[in-house]
Structure 1
Amino acid sequence: MSVRLIVRTFSELCITAGALIILFVVYVLFWTGVKAAGATEGQINTLQNQWARGAVSVPGPNAAGTSVPSTSPSSAPTPTSGPTSSHAHATYREGKPFAMLYIPRFGKSWEWPVLENTEVGTLKKGLGHYRGTAPLGGVGNFAVAGHRRTYGDPFKDFPTLRRGDAVVLTDGTTWFTYRIEKKPYRTVPSDTGVIDAVPRRSGFDGPGRYLTLTTCDPEWGSSHRLIAWAHLDATQPVTDGKPAAFHS
């Protein structure tokens, strides 16, 4: 085999490998976002149709955190008006949406559906509620995961979260406004205590109504996790309009 043939063959292999890498990058940066946009829109439409029919998915008596005494630490006072009693008679459906989540700091158009469980397929459609953690607005820790990058980049701006930022959710009947306790904390994937009923290292010193957001770190990797904790600050019926937190 001549040197010229070897060089030409090697060059063709390099071109092919380069083309495959470019296609992969396009898939990661662009196509997963396109797929996520369609999937997320579908989940939002599902929720809106459910709520239009008066169907609200609420947690059952076996949901984690519902048996915790309804007291809260001094750093996170429990609001005087909590979730309705109907939040103890049904269960979130696996892989199905049950709430919408908004973070005003991420922009006026930032909105994502929350689905039950954090499986790979679920997180391609929106944010995922950690199975077994507290129900929305309930006593305990309502924990949610989302992609930092790919599939719509929902938590791309996660590091910008700061103490006092609002995280607003609705289940179709009630608005729940949580307030971020402090800037994001970096840890390793095995540190599961960050989603405990009273999350470790959060600064909370007793039972309360908490929210934990988690995503990957670094931005294009998954060796670590970024964690943001919040406490329930206020609730109001959706019939009263959007909460003031959207403008804070």
Structure 2
Amino acid sequence: MSGDLGELAPSPRPRSGPPPGKPDKTQRVVRGVGEALITLGMVVLLFVVYEVYITDLISAGKQREAAAELDDRWSDPTIGGGEERQDHFGQFGEGEGFAKMHIPKFGADFHFTVVEGTTAPSLEIGPGHYTDTAYPGEPGNFSVAGHRVGKGAPFNDINLIESCDAIVVETQYTWFVYRMVPLEEEKAGWAQGKGKDPRCEGVLLGGVYEGLVGQRIVLPTNGDVIAPIPTDPTSTASAGESASLLTLTTCHPRFSDKERLIVHSVLTNEYPKDPSKPDWRPPAFEEIT
């Protein structure tokens, strides 16, 4: 027989896997896990965006409203101390603003209206006063809580406050200047070292306050930090040695509530507001950086 029939094509071999285009079981599992992780990651990302940015916007609006209401109240001579020009505390409702807090170290734009109470709705407005603690300028421990992440995060950077830095509390009729007390490691040689700074006058406390330090980390269950004498809550100070403290509390570390960051400061100066000088502010504001 003549003619070229050419080469015969080899017979196709049987496939051991699934038909073309159809993943096997392992591939389907891996793909499913991957899709689940991507979905979970998106959910977590959306939660972080909401918690950090959206709640900030919501709280900023509430803070503006609280500040405006406080300014209106302060401008009304029939409210508050009136002709006495004396601050009266204790008549505030939950979430109602009654003071303003300035920290010059954080710049001229750092100021928050402090509200009464530490419930979740109150802290969404701004820093909240522990209702069973002293008020500004009073002997004892004026204690204020604030969020560190989200919801305005007023206390996000309070770990950056250093000894002798000013925390100024403004009320209707008075400016109160508190300054952070020394850290534990600063106390030795204080008088020969940082204590020489004029800003540091009066911040190193003795007597029943001897163990007080500027910053510390505690468990959330440690309520002693807002006691009148935080280092020894069972003690009482005589009228002559009683100090006026300001304590700030916030969550630690950031994005966690496992612990609390505590900042202790003491009242060093008090200035009555002068109606004839409405724009006057304490010298501590010159420390704005």
TM interval, shorter chain, is 0.7 to 0.9
Q: Deviations over 1:68-112 (max 9, x none)?
A: xxxxxxxxxxxxxxxx88445752222211000001112221111
CA contact (8 A) 2:86 2:173 kept: no
Residue in 1 aligned with 2:177? Answer: 177
CA contact (8 A) 1:115 1:129 kept: yes
CA contact (8 A) 1:57 1:91 kept: no
Please state how far the C-alpha of 1:121 moved relative to its aligned partner: 1.0
Equivalent-residue separation in structure 2 for 1:109 and 1:145 (angstroms): 20
Residue in 2 aligned with 1:236? Answer: 271
Equivalent-residue separation in structure 2 for 1:90 and 1:237 (angstroms): 20
Q: Deviations over 1:38-95 (max 9, x none)?
A: 111111111111112136568xxxxxxxxxxxxxxxxxxxxxxxxx884457522222
Change (3 A) 1:87 1:12: same
TM-score (norm 1): 0.80
Change (3 A) 1:55 1:14: farther
Equivalent-residue separation in structure 2 for 1:246 and 1:22 (angstroms): 39
Residue in 2 aligned with 1:135? Answer: 135
Residue in 1 aligned with 2:72? Answer: 49
CA contact (8 A) 2:133 2:226 kept: yes
Equivalent-residue separation in structure 2 for 1:104 and 1:50 (angstroms): 25
CA contact (8 A) 1:186 1:224 kept: yes
Q: Deviations over 1:11-63 (max 9, x none)?
A: 443332222122111112211111111111111111111112136568xxxxx
| Match status 1:191 vs 2:230 | no
Q: Residue type matched to 2:59 in 1?
A: A
CA contact (8 A) 2:129 2:144 kept: yes
Residue in 2 aligned with 1:79? Answer: none
Residue in 1 aligned with 2:6? Answer: none
Equivalent-residue separation in structure 2 for 1:86 and 1:193 (angstroms): 30
CA contact (8 A) 2:112 2:126 kept: yes
- Match of residue 246, structure 2, among 211, 214, 222: 211
Change (3 A) 1:212 1:146: same
CA contact (8 A) 1:129 1:143 kept: yes
Greater relative contact order, per chain length (Cα 8 Å cut-off, separation 6+)? 1
Equivalent-residue separation in structure 2 for 1:219 and 1:243 (angstroms): 32
Equivalent-residue separation in structure 1 for 2:79 and 2:133 (angstroms): 19
Quick check: 127-136 or 18-27, which moved more? Answer: 18-27
Equivalent-residue separation in structure 1 for 2:111 and 2:71 (angstroms): 13
| Match status 1:32 vs 2:67 | no
CA contact (8 A) 1:140 1:197 kept: yes
TM-score (norm 2): 0.70
CA contact (8 A) 2:87 2:171 kept: no
Equivalent-residue separation in structure 2 for 1:55 and 1:237 (angstroms): 19
Equivalent-residue separation in structure 2 for 1:49 and 1:117 (angstroms): 21
Q: Which runs of 5+ in 1 are unaligned?
A: 59-83
Q: Deviations over 1:133-155 (max 9, x none)?
A: 01111111111111111112211
RMSD between aligned alpha carbons?
Answer: 2.5
Quick check: 173-182 or 10-19, which moved more? Answer: 10-19
Equivalent-residue separation in structure 2 for 1:31 and 1:45 (angstroms): 22
Q: Which runs of 5+ in 2 are unaligned?
A: 1-22, 183-213
Residue in 1 aligned with 2:8? Answer: none
Q: Percent identity?
A: 33
Please state how far the C-alpha of 1:174 moved relative to its aligned partner: 1.0
SS in 1 for 2:61: helix
Counterparts of 1:1-248 in structure 2 under 5 Å?
3=25, 6=29, 8-54=31-77, 86-87=86-87, 91-182=91-182, 183-200=214-231, 206-239=241-274, 240=277, 241-248=280-287
Please state how far the C-alpha of 1:7 moved relative to its aligned partner: 5.1
Equivalent-residue separation in structure 2 for 1:56 and 1:199 (angstroms): 34
Equivalent-residue separation in structure 2 for 1:185 and 1:89 (angstroms): 29
Equivalent-residue separation in structure 1 for 2:107 and 2:131 (angstroms): 28
